[in-house]
Chain A
């Protein structure tokens, strides 16, 4: 393996383990890795954004004088972001913020009512409550038919309405529905968190297609980090009785 590639493998192993040292407790290894990661992420994002702005200029905005004026205007407005760091001209920072928030909300509002609201209601209304070829689907659809309106009503009616006869039952069904939903969410969250860990563990163990050179790096860095952290803890413990 080339020296640079080997350096890359050792760096990856070092930063992976340094981040995981937080599982033991807060420590300088973790702090260092966290700062490097944040710096790299921000630097990478800025570089890509700058590339996009440059490509836009070369690709189309430099083609006519009117477009050039528009481009320069956009750049000047974007520079107003930096007034966030001054107290005197802080208000100027609100202009680009307003444009970003305005375009974002405007773009979303155009279709949100159809994409996330009416289509869902139509789908609920169209539920087929009897699927003779698939009894599991029949069961699921009946459950959906009962559970979805119960949860909607749970949030609709609050206060004394909840104490009325039918609402008591709806209230209970809604809470069980939400608990089932939270349970599914928790299960999937565990899956995601462990999958992240498994992915890194596969790298540390050099499982194909990851580089096998990661294994010695894993052993070396793990020993160094464990030794420094446990050693530091033991030193602190020994110091305490004397003070």
Chain B
């Protein structure tokens, strides 16, 4: 009997990986349709974007690379859908090298110039690409956008040639920063270089692992809204009534968490039974 419980504490990691594959692939192939309750985080995110006044200028920043795409790309798509459905001016800029690559993937999947959005590049939105230099670059961009970025990313023209950039040059001209991010530079840099000196409001979408570290900034009101992880993305997709990859993956998230809970319980059962026997 003892050896049976010993095994709980020493399961070969390859069996765990195999179980992970099964628990993830099964609900993707055969969707279970588990309920997705909508929590306050996704509601706050939806409201924050919904409440942006018409004609406002916002900065949208994809601050993640391809490794963050599985978790963050669905919320990026959904957020841009909501933004492009509104009458707001959008400046897309990234301080992560792979940010423009991610945004190009987004453009491959949704065309802002076509219906239902009908947005004009350079008038309603502009893509400034990637600015190297991390935190000092964020500060420089906030102080003088046209100095920090000489040419746009999409058409390689001077910024002064675009109507959208005529009356915008610094962070205080921006009504909201939306940062979708996986790490550094990220929220703390936005707070230090934009929110604190220019009082620019910020909302952040992040990978789940970053969420506990960001919660204090939500509590203090420095962060307007926080959308953490794939499950929140799924809730947001439901609020938008636009089902995407997050909804498709939420069953797999639930199943994978059930697996982890089972493994944690088994490990603890093995631990306590063996400890009792040793005593």
| Alpha-carbon distance between A114 and B196 when the two chains are bound, in angstroms | 7
Check A111–B216 contact: CB distance below 8 A: no
| Alpha-carbon distance between A201 and B28 when the two chains are bound, in angstroms | 8
Check B25–A192 contact: CB distance below 8 A: no
Tell me, rounded to whole Å, the shortest Cβ–Cβ distance linking B69 to chain A: 6
Check A55–B192 contact: CB distance below 8 A: no
Q: How many residues of B contact A (CB 8 A)?
A: 64
Q: Which residues of A contact B11 (CB under 8 A)?
A: none
Q: Does B207 contact A (CB under 8 A)?
A: yes
| Alpha-carbon distance between A24 and B13 when the two chains are bound, in angstroms | 9
Q: Does A108 contact B (CB under 8 A)?
A: yes
Tell me, rounded to whole Å, the shortest Cβ–Cβ distance linking A235 to chain B: 19
Q: How many A-B residue pairs have CB under 8 A?
A: 157
Check B71–A196 contact: CB distance below 8 A: yes
Tell me, rounded to whole Å, the shortest Cβ–Cβ distance linking A215 to chain B: 11
Check B207–A55 contact: CB distance below 8 A: no
Check B24–A198 contact: CB distance below 8 A: yes
Check B151–A207 contact: CB distance below 8 A: no
Tell me, rounded to whole Å, the shortest Cβ–Cβ distance linking A105 to chain B: 9
Q: Does B163 contact A (CB under 8 A)?
A: no
- Whether A116 contacts B135 in the complex (CB less than 8 A), given A48-B130, A190-B260, A201-B252, comes out as no
Check B193–A52 contact: CB distance below 8 A: no
Check A195–B230 contact: CB distance below 8 A: yes
Q: Which residues of B contact A108 (CB under 8 A)?
A: 135, 189, 192
Q: Per-position contact with A for B227-265: 1 when CB-CB < 8 Å, else 0?
A: 011110000000000000100110011001100100000
- Whether A119 contacts B136 in the complex (CB less than 8 A), given A45-B97, A205-B28, comes out as no
| Alpha-carbon distance between A58 and B157 when the two chains are bound, in angstroms | 10
Q: Does B109 contact A (CB under 8 A)?
A: yes
Tell me, rounded to whole Å, the shortest Cβ–Cβ distance linking B273 to chain A: 23
| Alpha-carbon distance between A192 and B20 when the two chains are bound, in angstroms | 14
Select A197's contact among B20, B97, B100, beta carbons within 8 Å.
Answer: B20
Check A198–B209 contact: CB distance below 8 A: no
Closest to B157 in A: A59
Q: Does B87 contact A (CB under 8 A)?
A: no
Q: Does B191 contact A (CB under 8 A)?
A: yes
| Alpha-carbon distance between A122 and B216 when the two chains are bound, in angstroms | 12
Question: Counting chain B CB atoms within 10 Å of each CB, which of A24, A45, A52, A114 scores highest?
Answer: A52
Tell me, rounded to whole Å, the shortest Cβ–Cβ distance linking B260 to chain A: 5
Select B134's contact among A51, A59, A104, A181, beta carbons within 8 Å.
Answer: A104
Q: Which residues of A contact B277 (CB under 8 A)?
A: none
Q: How large is the interface on A (under 10, 10 to 19, 20 to 34, 35 or more residues)?
A: 35 or more
| Alpha-carbon distance between A200 and B135 when the two chains are bound, in angstroms | 31
Q: Which residues of B contact A196 (CB under 8 A)?
A: 67, 70-71
Check B256–A56 contact: CB distance below 8 A: no
Select B25's contact among A44, A56, A123, A205, beta carbons within 8 Å.
Answer: A205
| Alpha-carbon distance between A177 and B276 when the two chains are bound, in angstroms | 28
Check A111–B70 contact: CB distance below 8 A: no
Which of the segments B47-55, B116-124, B173-181, B218-226 contacts the partner chain? B218-226
Q: Does A132 contact B (CB under 8 A)?
A: no
| Alpha-carbon distance between A181 and B70 when the two chains are bound, in angstroms | 25
Tell me, rounded to whole Å, the shortest Cβ–Cβ distance linking B246 to chain A: 9
Give residues 193-238 of A contacting B (CB, 8 Å).
Answer: 194-202, 205, 207-209
| Alpha-carbon distance between A108 and B29 when the two chains are bound, in angstroms | 48
Tell me, rounded to whole Å, the shortest Cβ–Cβ distance linking B73 to chain A: 7
Q: Does B4 contact A (CB under 8 A)?
A: no
| Alpha-carbon distance between A197 and B20 when the two chains are bound, in angstroms | 9
Q: Which residues of B contact A4 (CB under 8 A)?
A: none
Q: Does B139 contact A (CB under 8 A)?
A: yes
Q: Does A69 contact B (CB under 8 A)?
A: no
Tell me, rounded to whole Å, the shortest Cβ–Cβ distance linking B31 to chain A: 10
Q: Per-position contact with B for A15-56: 1 when CB-CB < 8 Å, else 0?
A: 000000001100000000000000001001100110110011
Q: Does B14 contact A (CB under 8 A)?
A: yes
- Could you show 13 A-B contacts with beta carbons less than 8 Å apart? A23-B14, A104-B135, A115-B188, A119-B222, A123-B216, A185-B212, A188-B228, A192-B209, A194-B20, A195-B208, A196-B71, A199-B249, A207-B245
**9 A-B pairs with least C-beta separation:** A199-B70, A59-B150, A123-B220, A191-B208, A188-B208, A195-B71, A194-B256, A111-B196, A195-B230
